[in-house]
Amino acid sequence: MTKIFVYGTLLDPEIRKAVYGRAGELREKTLSDYRKEGLNITEEEGDEVRGGIIEVDDRELEYLNNYEGLGRLYKIINVSPEGEEVIAYQRI
């Protein structure tokens, strides 16, 4: 399973269900030293982004990568909301 920090449309369980077939559990988390700017997050000391962590299997991750436009619109970065190491999508 892959853990992903989400902070935008994927916070909505209906969107998650439409993208990869189930809403799943969302654990609310805060990502420190990042700022949300529209559909993106960027490093900014002292700021924070409220979001959540979802866990997906390999097939669901493929659906998410397609939804996010991985390689065209977004890249994957490593982040640590509240000390938990996960990935997140960031605009290219």
What is the band of 72 on the pLDDT scale with cuts at 50, 70, 90?
Answer: very high
CA-CA-CA-CA torsion for 63, 64, 70, 73, nearest 10 degrees? 120
> What pLDDT, on the 0 to 100 scale, is given for residue 49?
98
**How large is the average pLDDT for residues 59-86?**
97
What mean pLDDT is reported for the chain? 97
* Domains in the chain: ranges and CATH: 2-91 (3.10.490.10)
**How large is the average pLDDT for residues 48-54?**
98
- The model's pTM is 0.95
**How large is the average pLDDT for residues 30-53?**
97
